[in-house]
Amino acid sequence: MRGAIKPARHGAQAWRVGLQVLLAAVIGGLIYGAFINAADNLARTHISSGFGFWNNSAGFDISQTLIPYSPGISTFGRAFWVGLLNTLFVAALGIVLATLLGFTIGIARLSRNWLVARLAGFYVELIRNIPLLLQLLFWYNAVLKSLPELRDSIVLPMGGFLNNRGLFLPRPVFAPGFSAVIAALLVGIGAAIVLQVWARRRRKRSGAPTPVGRWIAALLVGLPLAALALAGFPVAFELPQMSRFNVVGGLEILPEFAALVVALSVYTAAFIAEVVRAGILAVAAGQTEAAQALGLRSGTTLRLIVVPQAVRVMVPPLTSQYLNLTKNSSLAVAIGYPDLVQVFAGSVLNITGQAVEVIAITMAVYLTISLFTSLVMNLYGRMTAIVER
Amino acid sequence: MKRIATALSLALLLAFSAQTAWAQTLQTVKQRGQLICGANGTLAGFGLPDPQGNWTGFDVDFCRAIAAAIFNDPSKVKFVPLTAANRFTALQSGEVDVLSRNTTWTMSRDTTLGLDFAAVTFFDGQGFMVHKSLKVSSALELNGASVCVQQGTTTELNLADYFRSHQMALKTVTFATADEAIKAYDSGRCDSYTTDSSGLYGERLRLTSPNDNIVLPEIISKEPLSPAVRQGDDSWEDLVRWTHEAMLDAEEFGVTKSNVDEQLKSANPEIRRLLGVEGQFGQSLGLTNDWAYRIIKSIGNYGESFDRNVGENSPLKIARGLNALWTKGGLQYGLPVR
Ligand SMILES: N[C@@H](CCC(=O)N[C@@H](CS)C(=O)NCC(=O)O)C(=O)O
């Protein structure tokens, strides 16, 4: 279109802006009209509408709640937040694990070791070609079927249990003195960053190698440990206890959660591996050759020369993988993990019967998550973009 | 995902269609030449297609009875399998003409979902099934137990209520379909599975070894199961209600599938009105006067349908109990045709 209109004419610009405004107004009008029409239709068909249900008590139970929730007292709104947090939790963990696994496999695929490269290739082909839902059911059933029943629980060292109801670990209970440890950790992180920046500057200026790794480790680990000892170990552990039907107390990791995280990470890692491989191959071979000519070892070349350049190419496709993972997490429904779709677009929708409102909110949430992820990744992309000097 | 799709289509329908209002269902059905019935697709005894696609069950026969009354042909029904979670949306959006799927008549469903319940076809209540190996003999011993349950049901709510009011700890594992819930229970994920006790009989048959599971004696809720129609089409609701009443009356008067032709000659005025020998009752429903005769001729009376699908002549062997006629100590009380 651009080329078709002669750019010389001044009026053209105003005309285009006017057109945009008109279009926006028409779309806005349509949406408004749809809302009014829907409200009207709901009233005519005697279906209740509005958001009044938000504050009514929910009455159903949820298996995993990151914030306090109790069926009799908590509201539908609370159930929404429980579901949303469960979605974000599973997505965040999935993204971290898929990234680690994906990078490892992507790099392994380019390995000069024939076996390693083939195994990585096999992984990618296998995982990419099996529908995620099947994999999810496989993991869930594998988890459920292979683990023992409650009475034959595997007893883990330090008082944990593993059975087909989940993994139960001692739960740390923090005494007030623990804030000193957190403070020490924060100070350690801050100091480590400062040290790293200083070391890099110095190296750039003088070229002298400035190894600070050991100091950074000391700051990150030693400092908090010292604080822990000084505060007199202000942590107690609540041990899970065997009861007649279940393990009570402790930290509980549900099989539904574990299966979902594993399935999402394993699946998405295959795609990320391809992104990583493509990103690395996109870096001109001359870069590697030049680095090697300078005498850098291949690990160092990868870390300092190839990956930083590859990451730039990788950011956009990585973003879409992260978004896919987040959206795929709604397959939770199939195995009873209480994510947003299961809790909100499932139980809440059915109990309140307010399909229109609930679906609208659910879609808005996924849209927001997507836009936010894209925003963060775009910022990161801009930060790592090549600055022309 | 199917559920989201149904909900979404309802939202789009409401947002973009002009003047959604439901009237004239009977006319639509007649023009279409077929009744579209929302049924349970997985519950033995109530609604279940066999591999050849032949549907059977108590709720299924109810839809066949409506088709018989309208078309004099019980096969003019298309069954749409619905889960607990998408059934109401399917009815609201007009995907089905009637919902006949073990659905509990509750106040909030009646008053806020834009639908109406026609008649209680089955008085039910919620029960628990447990693995025999747990050696539990009462629901009150379930403190701390894991319970598998299906979402979008009254079951989900009653469960939380029951444990709360008895101050027992509960670990709920909620699934979108009965299939998933029962599989998880079967694999030992839960100590107990809970649903309407009629459903327990049916679901139990699907377990790897049904005999290793027992149903506990407690009934923790009232589940009056009723077919539902969209609110705003009163004559259609009448037709659905009177289909049930006709089947009840037939049982009370001893009119059966096999003797209905002889009964046409009966001198009993109640039977004569029911079968359309006297009066214009069918016409007032928009049907022919032999509407009830058609129902009984092809489906049988209430008791026959009950026995065949869920009662003594079926694998479920559910006792009549509350569903016996009022004359026999039950709650089923057919309204008079007059
Ligand atoms: N009567 C209850 C429960 C009805 C219900 O959905 N029961 C389950 C368990 S028996 C069922 O039929 N599930 C079959 C399915 O969804 O496929 C209600 O109306 O909420």
pLDDT value of residue B1: 54
pLDDT value of residue B201: 87
Beta bridge partners of B128: B194
A245/B142 touch (CB, cutoff 8 Å), yes or no: yes
- What is the domain range of residue B41? 21-123+225-328
Give residue B102 CA to ligand 1 midpoint distance, Å: 6
Distance of CA A4 to the CA centre of its chain: 44
Mean pLDDT, rounded, of chain B: 93
Q: Is the pLDDT of residue B19 over 90?
A: no
Tell me: do B104 and B232 sit in the same domain: yes
- Return the structure tokens found at A247: 């393990």
Sort out which chain A residues have CB atoms less than 8 A from B152's CB and list them: 346-347, 349-351
Chosen from A51, A61, A65, A76 to mutate, greatest number of chain B CBs within 10 A: A61
In a domain? residue B7: no
Tell me: do B240 and B308 sit in the same domain: yes
Give residue A30 CA to ligand 1 midpoint distance, Å: 39
B170/A360 touch (CB, cutoff 8 Å), yes or no: no
In a domain? residue B6: no
Give how many domains chain B has, as a whole number: 2
- The C-alpha torsion from A340 through A341 and A343 to A347, rounded to 10°, is 150
B47-100: pLDDT as tens digits: 999 989 999 999 999 999 999 999 999 999 999 999 988 899 999 999 999 999
Single pTM value for the model: 0.86
SS3 at position B37: strand
Query: Is the shortest distance between the CB of B153 and ligand 1 below 6 Å?
Result: yes
The residue extents of the domains of chain A are 42-157+253-389, 171-238
Report the interhelical angle of B234-253 vs B302-309 (nearest 10°).
90
Tell me: do B146 and B264 sit in the same domain: no
Quick check: A318 and A377 in contact, CB under 8 A? yes
Tell me: do B115 and B229 sit in the same domain: yes
Which residue out of B155, B157, B215, B221 has the highest number of ligand 1 atoms within 8 Å of its CB and is therefore the one to mutate? Answer: B155
Tell me: do B119 and B130 sit in the same domain: no
Q: Is the pLDDT of residue B21 over 80?
A: no
> If residue A94 lies in a helix (H) or strand (E), which one and from where to where?
helix A76-109
Range with lowest mean pLDDT among A27-31, A354-358, A382-386, B233-237:
A382-386
Q: For tokens 């909030």, what's the residue?
A: B108
SS3 at position B40: strand
Q: For tokens 């923790």, what's the residue?
A: B220
Confidence grade of residue B12 (pLDDT, cut at 50, 70, 90):
confident
B146/A245 touch (CB, cutoff 8 Å), yes or no: yes
Confidence grade of residue B228 (pLDDT, cut at 50, 70, 90):
very high
Mean pLDDT for B219-236 is 96
Minimal Cα–Cα distance from A157 to chain B, Å?
24
pLDDT above 70 as % of chain B: 97
Tell me: do B134 and B263 sit in the same domain: no
The residue among A381 and B100 whose pLDDT is bigger is: B100
Considering only CA atoms, which of B172, B218, B265, B69 is closest in space to residue A71? B172
What is the rounded distance in angstroms from the CA atom of residue B225 to the CA atom of residue B195?
13
Which residue out of B195, B204, B207, B310 has the highest number of ligand 1 atoms within 8 Å of its CB and is therefore the one to mutate? Answer: B195
B171-200: pLDDT as tens digits: 999 998 898 999 999 988 999 999 999 999
Tell me: do B51 and B105 sit in the same domain: yes
- Nearest chain B residue to A351, by CA: B152
Q: Which fold has domain A42-157+253-389?
A: MetI-like fold (1.10.3720)
- The C-alpha torsion from A341 through A344 and A347 to A348, rounded to 10°, is -160
Instruction: Write down which residue in B221, B256, B287 finishes a domain.
Output: B221
Quick check: B316 and B310 in contact, CB under 8 A? yes
Q: Is the pLDDT of residue B203 over 50?
A: yes
Query: Is the shortest distance between the CB of B83 and ligand 1 below 6 Å?
Result: yes
The residue among A49 and B236 whose pLDDT is bigger is: B236
Quick check: B18 and A34 in contact, CB under 8 A? no
pLDDT value of residue B14: 75
Give residue B153 CA to ligand 1 midpoint distance, Å: 6
Instruction: Write down which residue in B221, B242, B269 finishes a domain.
Output: B221
Q: Is the pLDDT of residue A3 over 50?
A: no
pLDDT above 90 as % of chain B: 86
In a domain? residue B13: no
Instruction: Write down which residue in B171, B186, B221 finishes a domain.
Output: B221
B260-286: pLDDT as tens digits: 999 999 999 999 999 999 999 999 999
- Return the structure tokens found at A377: 């990744």
B88/A37 touch (CB, cutoff 8 Å), yes or no: no
pLDDT above 70 as % of chain A: 96
Sort out which chain A residues have CB atoms less than 8 A from B194's CB and list them: none
CA angle B199, B201, B204 (to 5 degrees): 100
Sort out which chain B residues have CB atoms less than 8 A from A48's CB and list them: 112-113
Out of A46, A60, A149, closest to residue B232 by CB: A46
A121-180: pLDDT as tens digits: 999 999 999 999 999 999 998 877 788 888 888 998 888 899 988 899 998 888 877 888
In chain B, DSSP finds a helix count (H) and a strand count (E) of 14, 14
Residue B155 sits in a domain whose CATH number is 3.40.190.10
- Nearest chain A residue to B133, by CA: A151
Considering only CA atoms, which of B232, B338, B337, B235 is closest in space to residue B295? B337
What is the rounded distance in angstroms from the CA atom of residue B288 to the CA atom of residue B238?
15
pLDDT value of residue A41: 83
Considering only CA atoms, which of A166, A155, A171 is closest in space to residue A259? A166
Tell me: do B95 and B115 sit in the same domain: yes
pLDDT value of residue A235: 82
Q: Which amino acid is at B31?
A: Q
Q: Residues 6 or more apart from B66 whose CB is under 8 A from it?
A: B35, B37, B77, B98, B239, B240, B243
Tell me: do B113 and B232 sit in the same domain: yes
Sort out which chain B residues have CB atoms less than 8 A from A41's CB and list them: 13-15, 17, 19-20
Sort out which chain A residues have CB atoms less than 8 A from B10's CB and list them: 355-356
In a domain? residue B306: yes
CA angle A205, A211, A216 (to 5 degrees): 115
Out of B148, B152, B231, closest to residue A346 by CB: B152
pLDDT value of residue A2: 47
Chosen from A32, A41, A75 to mutate, greatest number of chain B CBs within 10 A: A41
Mean pLDDT for A365-387 is 85
Query: Is the shortest distance between the CB of B304 and ligand 1 below 6 Å?
Result: no
pLDDT value of residue A234: 80
Sort out which chain B residues have CB atoms less than 8 A from A245's CB and list them: 134, 142-146, 191
Tell me: do B117 and B231 sit in the same domain: yes
pLDDT value of residue B22: 67
Minimal Cα–Cα distance from B294 to chain A, Å?
32
Tell me: do B72 and B201 sit in the same domain: no
Tell me: do B275 and B294 sit in the same domain: yes
What is the rounded distance in angstroms from the CA atom of residue B121 to the CA atom of residue B323?
8
Give residue B100 CA to ligand 1 midpoint distance, Å: 11
Minimal Cα–Cα distance from A79 to chain B, Å?
14
Query: Is the shortest distance between the CB of B102 and ligand 1 below 6 Å?
Result: yes
